Amino acid sequence: MQVSVQTLGHVYPGQPQAVEAVRAVDLEIEAGEFVALIGPSGCGKSTLLRILAGLVTPTQGSAQINGYSPVQAAAEKQIGWLAQNPALLPWRTVRANVALAQQINPQNSRTLTPPAELLQMVGLSDFSDAYPLALSGGMQQRVALARTLALGAKVWLMDEPFAALDELTREILTRELLEIWRTLRPTVLWVTHHILEAARLADRVLVMTPRPGQISAEVAIDLPRPRDETSPEFIRIVGELRGHLGVPVSGGGGHEKC
Ligand code: ADP
Ligand code: MG
Protein backbone atom coordinates (compact mmCIF):
# COMPACT_ATOMS: atom_id res chain seq x y z
CA MET A 1 0.00 0.00 0.00
CA GLN A 2 1.30 3.44 -0.83
CA VAL A 3 -0.75 5.25 1.80
CA SER A 4 -1.65 3.47 4.98
CA VAL A 5 -3.41 4.82 8.06
CA GLN A 6 -4.18 3.00 11.31
CA THR A 7 -6.74 4.16 13.87
CA LEU A 8 -5.71 7.73 13.34
CA GLY A 9 -7.14 10.36 15.61
CA HIS A 10 -6.46 14.00 16.28
CA VAL A 11 -7.49 16.32 19.07
CA TYR A 12 -6.48 19.97 18.88
CA PRO A 13 -5.73 21.20 22.38
CA GLY A 14 -7.68 24.37 23.06
CA GLN A 15 -9.05 26.79 25.56
CA PRO A 16 -11.63 26.47 26.92
CA GLN A 17 -12.29 23.25 24.99
CA ALA A 18 -10.19 20.82 23.02
CA VAL A 19 -11.49 20.00 19.51
CA GLU A 20 -11.60 16.39 18.41
CA ALA A 21 -11.17 16.73 14.64
CA VAL A 22 -10.55 13.15 13.49
CA ARG A 23 -11.43 9.84 15.15
CA ALA A 24 -10.28 6.28 14.47
CA VAL A 25 -9.60 6.54 10.75
CA ASP A 26 -8.28 3.47 8.94
CA LEU A 27 -7.27 3.88 5.34
CA GLU A 28 -5.36 2.02 2.65
CA ILE A 29 -4.62 3.44 -0.78
CA GLU A 30 -2.91 1.45 -3.51
CA ALA A 31 -0.29 2.87 -5.83
CA GLY A 32 -1.93 4.69 -8.73
CA GLU A 33 -5.34 4.84 -7.09
CA PHE A 34 -7.40 8.05 -7.12
CA VAL A 35 -9.33 8.36 -3.87
CA ALA A 36 -11.65 11.21 -2.96
CA LEU A 37 -12.43 12.09 0.65
CA ILE A 38 -15.71 13.90 1.01
CA GLY A 39 -17.47 15.33 4.02
CA PRO A 40 -19.09 18.48 5.37
CA SER A 41 -17.09 21.60 6.22
CA GLY A 42 -15.22 21.33 9.49
CA CYS A 43 -15.40 17.52 9.66
CA GLY A 44 -11.64 17.02 9.78
CA LYS A 45 -10.68 16.44 6.14
CA SER A 46 -7.86 18.98 6.09
CA THR A 47 -6.60 17.74 9.43
CA LEU A 48 -6.31 14.20 8.04
CA LEU A 49 -4.51 15.50 4.96
CA ARG A 50 -2.14 17.68 7.03
CA ILE A 51 -1.27 14.63 9.13
CA LEU A 52 -0.45 12.67 5.97
CA ALA A 53 1.67 15.57 4.72
CA GLY A 54 3.67 15.56 7.95
CA LEU A 55 2.40 19.00 8.93
CA VAL A 56 0.39 17.89 11.98
CA THR A 57 1.40 15.16 14.43
CA PRO A 58 -1.61 12.97 15.21
CA THR A 59 -2.58 12.49 18.84
CA GLN A 60 -3.51 8.85 18.10
CA GLY A 61 -2.63 6.14 15.64
CA SER A 62 -0.12 6.27 12.82
CA ALA A 63 0.28 6.73 9.09
CA GLN A 64 2.78 5.65 6.44
CA ILE A 65 3.51 6.93 2.96
CA ASN A 66 5.55 4.43 0.94
CA GLY A 67 6.48 2.84 4.25
CA TYR A 68 7.86 6.11 5.63
CA SER A 69 6.39 8.25 8.35
CA PRO A 70 4.69 11.34 6.88
CA VAL A 71 7.50 13.58 8.16
CA GLN A 72 10.16 11.37 6.50
CA ALA A 73 8.13 11.10 3.30
CA ALA A 74 7.82 14.90 3.17
CA ALA A 75 11.56 15.30 3.74
CA GLU A 76 12.21 12.84 0.90
CA LYS A 77 9.89 14.90 -1.34
CA GLN A 78 7.62 11.93 -1.89
CA ILE A 79 4.54 14.07 -1.35
CA GLY A 80 3.02 16.58 -3.74
CA TRP A 81 0.71 19.08 -2.06
CA LEU A 82 -1.89 21.35 -3.60
CA ALA A 83 -4.43 23.41 -1.68
CA GLN A 84 -6.89 26.20 -2.37
CA ASN A 85 -4.33 28.97 -2.01
CA PRO A 86 -1.72 28.75 -4.80
CA ALA A 87 0.86 30.53 -2.58
CA LEU A 88 3.05 31.71 -5.48
CA LEU A 89 5.91 34.16 -5.08
CA PRO A 90 4.66 37.36 -6.73
CA TRP A 91 8.14 38.71 -7.54
CA ARG A 92 9.13 35.63 -9.54
CA THR A 93 7.85 34.83 -13.01
CA VAL A 94 5.68 31.80 -13.64
CA ARG A 95 8.69 29.82 -14.91
CA ALA A 96 10.82 30.93 -11.96
CA ASN A 97 8.13 29.89 -9.49
CA VAL A 98 8.05 26.39 -10.97
CA ALA A 99 11.85 26.18 -11.28
CA LEU A 100 12.36 27.26 -7.67
CA ALA A 101 10.85 24.04 -6.34
CA GLN A 102 13.57 22.10 -8.18
CA GLN A 103 16.38 24.52 -7.30
CA ILE A 104 15.80 24.35 -3.56
CA ASN A 105 15.14 20.61 -3.54
CA PRO A 106 17.83 19.01 -5.70
CA GLN A 107 16.92 15.34 -6.11
CA ASN A 108 19.96 13.49 -7.36
CA SER A 109 18.20 10.18 -7.76
CA ARG A 110 15.24 11.50 -9.72
CA THR A 111 14.87 12.71 -13.25
CA LEU A 112 12.97 15.94 -12.99
CA THR A 113 10.80 17.30 -15.77
CA PRO A 114 12.08 20.67 -17.04
CA PRO A 115 9.90 23.66 -16.03
CA ALA A 116 9.08 24.48 -19.68
CA GLU A 117 7.62 20.99 -20.13
CA LEU A 118 5.66 21.24 -16.88
CA LEU A 119 4.17 24.55 -18.02
CA GLN A 120 3.19 22.95 -21.28
CA MET A 121 1.41 20.17 -19.39
CA VAL A 122 -0.73 22.69 -17.55
CA GLY A 123 -1.34 24.80 -20.67
CA LEU A 124 0.74 27.82 -19.64
CA SER A 125 3.59 27.82 -22.15
CA ASP A 126 2.63 31.30 -23.36
CA PHE A 127 2.70 32.73 -19.85
CA SER A 128 6.03 31.53 -18.53
CA ASP A 129 7.45 35.08 -18.36
CA ALA A 130 4.33 36.55 -16.73
CA TYR A 131 4.12 37.38 -13.03
CA PRO A 132 1.54 35.51 -10.95
CA LEU A 133 -0.53 38.55 -10.01
CA ALA A 134 -1.15 39.28 -13.69
CA LEU A 135 -2.91 35.91 -14.03
CA SER A 136 -6.46 34.80 -13.25
CA GLY A 137 -7.16 32.59 -10.24
CA GLY A 138 -7.47 29.54 -12.48
CA MET A 139 -4.13 30.24 -14.16
CA GLN A 140 -2.43 30.79 -10.81
CA GLN A 141 -3.73 27.41 -9.73
CA ARG A 142 -2.28 25.88 -12.91
CA VAL A 143 1.10 27.31 -11.93
CA ALA A 144 0.70 25.79 -8.48
CA LEU A 145 -0.12 22.46 -10.11
CA ALA A 146 3.02 22.65 -12.27
CA ARG A 147 5.03 23.37 -9.12
CA THR A 148 3.43 20.31 -7.46
CA LEU A 149 4.51 18.21 -10.46
CA ALA A 150 8.02 19.66 -10.42
CA LEU A 151 9.49 17.24 -7.90
CA GLY A 152 7.97 14.12 -9.42
CA ALA A 153 6.30 12.99 -6.18
CA LYS A 154 4.27 9.82 -6.54
CA VAL A 155 1.71 10.70 -3.88
CA TRP A 156 -0.46 13.77 -4.31
CA LEU A 157 -2.41 15.21 -1.40
CA MET A 158 -4.96 17.68 -2.73
CA ASP A 159 -6.99 19.83 -0.33
CA GLU A 160 -9.92 21.26 -2.30
CA PRO A 161 -7.47 22.71 -4.83
CA PHE A 162 -10.11 24.18 -7.12
CA ALA A 163 -12.71 25.18 -4.54
CA ALA A 164 -12.05 28.92 -4.86
CA LEU A 165 -12.54 28.92 -8.63
CA ASP A 166 -15.73 29.51 -10.56
CA GLU A 167 -17.61 26.38 -11.60
CA LEU A 168 -16.61 26.48 -15.28
CA THR A 169 -12.88 26.99 -14.59
CA ARG A 170 -13.12 24.27 -11.98
CA GLU A 171 -14.59 21.81 -14.48
CA ILE A 172 -11.96 22.60 -17.11
CA LEU A 173 -9.09 22.27 -14.65
CA THR A 174 -10.54 19.06 -13.25
CA ARG A 175 -10.67 17.55 -16.73
CA GLU A 176 -7.10 18.60 -17.47
CA LEU A 177 -5.89 17.29 -14.16
CA LEU A 178 -7.41 13.91 -14.98
CA GLU A 179 -5.41 13.84 -18.20
CA ILE A 180 -2.19 14.57 -16.29
CA TRP A 181 -3.08 11.92 -13.73
CA ARG A 182 -3.64 9.40 -16.52
CA THR A 183 -0.20 10.15 -17.93
CA LEU A 184 1.76 10.18 -14.67
CA ARG A 185 -0.41 7.82 -12.61
CA PRO A 186 0.37 9.15 -9.16
CA THR A 187 -1.55 8.04 -6.08
CA VAL A 188 -4.07 10.74 -5.21
CA LEU A 189 -6.01 11.59 -2.09
CA TRP A 190 -8.36 14.40 -3.09
CA VAL A 191 -10.30 16.22 -0.41
CA THR A 192 -13.52 17.93 -1.45
CA HIS A 193 -16.96 18.83 -0.22
CA HIS A 194 -18.26 18.77 -3.79
CA ILE A 195 -20.19 15.57 -4.50
CA LEU A 196 -20.10 15.84 -8.28
CA GLU A 197 -16.36 16.51 -8.32
CA ALA A 198 -15.73 13.38 -6.24
CA ALA A 199 -17.89 11.32 -8.62
CA ARG A 200 -16.10 12.75 -11.66
CA LEU A 201 -12.64 11.98 -10.39
CA ALA A 202 -12.28 9.08 -8.04
CA ASP A 203 -11.87 5.33 -8.25
CA ARG A 204 -13.19 5.26 -4.72
CA VAL A 205 -14.94 7.86 -2.58
CA LEU A 206 -14.60 7.84 1.20
CA VAL A 207 -17.36 9.60 3.09
CA MET A 208 -16.60 11.34 6.38
CA THR A 209 -19.08 12.06 9.16
CA PRO A 210 -19.43 15.49 10.75
CA ARG A 211 -16.74 16.21 13.35
CA PRO A 212 -15.12 14.22 14.78
CA GLY A 213 -14.48 12.92 11.28
CA GLN A 214 -14.82 9.18 10.89
CA ILE A 215 -15.06 7.31 7.62
CA SER A 216 -18.65 6.11 7.48
CA ALA A 217 -18.96 4.80 3.92
CA GLU A 218 -16.97 3.90 0.87
CA VAL A 219 -18.24 3.98 -2.70
CA ALA A 220 -16.27 2.40 -5.55
CA ILE A 221 -16.71 3.96 -8.99
CA ASP A 222 -15.81 1.70 -11.86
CA LEU A 223 -16.63 3.98 -14.79
CA PRO A 224 -14.29 5.05 -17.60
CA ARG A 225 -13.12 8.68 -17.59
CA PRO A 226 -14.09 11.27 -18.65
CA ARG A 227 -17.38 10.13 -17.17
CA ASP A 228 -20.74 10.52 -18.82
CA GLU A 229 -22.59 12.50 -16.17
CA THR A 230 -25.93 11.75 -17.79
CA SER A 231 -25.50 7.97 -17.58
CA PRO A 232 -27.85 6.14 -15.19
CA GLU A 233 -24.89 4.62 -13.32
CA PHE A 234 -23.24 8.02 -12.72
CA ILE A 235 -26.53 9.48 -11.51
CA ARG A 236 -27.03 6.48 -9.25
CA ILE A 237 -23.57 6.97 -7.73
CA VAL A 238 -24.18 10.68 -7.11
CA GLY A 239 -27.46 9.73 -5.42
CA GLU A 240 -25.71 7.15 -3.28
CA LEU A 241 -23.10 9.72 -2.17
CA ARG A 242 -25.82 12.23 -1.37
CA GLY A 243 -27.56 9.58 0.68
CA HIS A 244 -24.39 8.83 2.67
CA LEU A 245 -23.91 12.54 3.31
CA GLY A 246 -27.51 13.03 4.33
CA VAL A 247 -28.26 15.51 1.53
CA PRO A 248 -31.98 15.56 0.63
CA VAL A 249 -32.75 14.33 -2.88
CA SER A 250 -34.11 17.33 -4.79
CA GLY A 251 -34.21 16.08 -8.35
CA GLY A 252 -32.07 19.07 -9.24
CA GLY A 253 -29.45 17.08 -11.11
CA GLY A 254 -27.01 16.75 -8.24
CA HIS A 255 -25.13 19.97 -8.87
CA GLU A 256 -25.37 21.34 -5.35
CA LYS A 257 -22.50 21.09 -2.94
CA CYS A 258 -23.12 19.28 0.28
P1 ADP B 1 -12.38 20.43 7.08
O2 ADP B 1 -11.15 20.47 6.27
O3 ADP B 1 -13.17 19.15 6.91
O4 ADP B 1 -13.25 21.61 6.86
P5 ADP B 1 -10.59 20.81 9.36
O6 ADP B 1 -9.73 19.60 9.44
O7 ADP B 1 -10.01 22.04 8.80
O8 ADP B 1 -11.98 20.42 8.63
O9 ADP B 1 -11.11 21.16 10.82
C10 ADP B 1 -11.73 20.20 11.68
C11 ADP B 1 -12.04 20.86 13.01
O12 ADP B 1 -10.82 21.16 13.67
C13 ADP B 1 -12.81 22.18 12.88
O14 ADP B 1 -13.71 22.25 13.96
C15 ADP B 1 -11.71 23.22 13.02
O16 ADP B 1 -12.24 24.40 13.57
C17 ADP B 1 -10.74 22.55 13.96
N18 ADP B 1 -9.36 22.98 13.72
C19 ADP B 1 -8.69 22.93 12.53
N20 ADP B 1 -7.43 23.38 12.67
C21 ADP B 1 -7.30 23.72 13.98
C22 ADP B 1 -6.22 24.23 14.77
N23 ADP B 1 -5.03 24.47 14.23
N24 ADP B 1 -6.45 24.45 16.09
C25 ADP B 1 -7.65 24.20 16.64
N26 ADP B 1 -8.71 23.71 15.96
C27 ADP B 1 -8.54 23.45 14.65
MG1 MG C 1 -10.54 21.86 4.84
Q: Which of 11, 47, 49, 207 to mutate to test the pocket of ligand 1 (most atoms within 8 A of CB)?
A: 47
Minimal-distance CA residue to ligand 1 atom 22: 12
In a structure prediction context, what are the per-residue pLDDT tens digits for the chain, which is 258 residues long?
899 999 999 999 988 899 999 999 999 999 999 999 999 999 999 999 999 999 999 999 999 999 999 999 999 899 999 999 999 999 999 999 999 988 887 666 678 899 999 999 999 999 999 999 999 999 999 999 999 999 899 999 999 999 999 999 999 999 999 999 999 999 999 999 899 999 999 999 999 999 999 999 999 999 999 999 999 999 999 999 999 999 876 654 444 444
Q: What is this structure's pTM?
A: 0.93
- CA contacts within 13 A on the Cβ side of 205: 26
DSSP for 158-207 reads EESTTTTS-HHHHHHHHHHHHHHHHHH--EEEEEES-HHHHHHH-SEEEE
| Start-end of CATH 3.40.50.300 domains in the chain | 1-78+153-258
Per CATH, the number for 1-78+153-258 is 3.40.50.300
Query: With a 6 A CB cut-off, is 209 part of the ligand 1 pocket?
Result: no
Look up residue 177 and give its amino acid: L
Query: With a 6 A CB cut-off, is 56 part of the ligand 1 pocket?
Result: no
Q: What's the 19 CA to ligand 1 centre distance in angstroms? A: 8
With vertex at residue 194, the alpha carbon angle to CA 245 and CA 74, rounded to the nearest 5 degrees, is: 105
Distance CA 97, CA 102 (A): 10
Q: What's the 211 CA to ligand 1 centre distance in angstroms? A: 9
Q: What's the 21 CA to ligand 1 centre distance in angstroms? A: 6
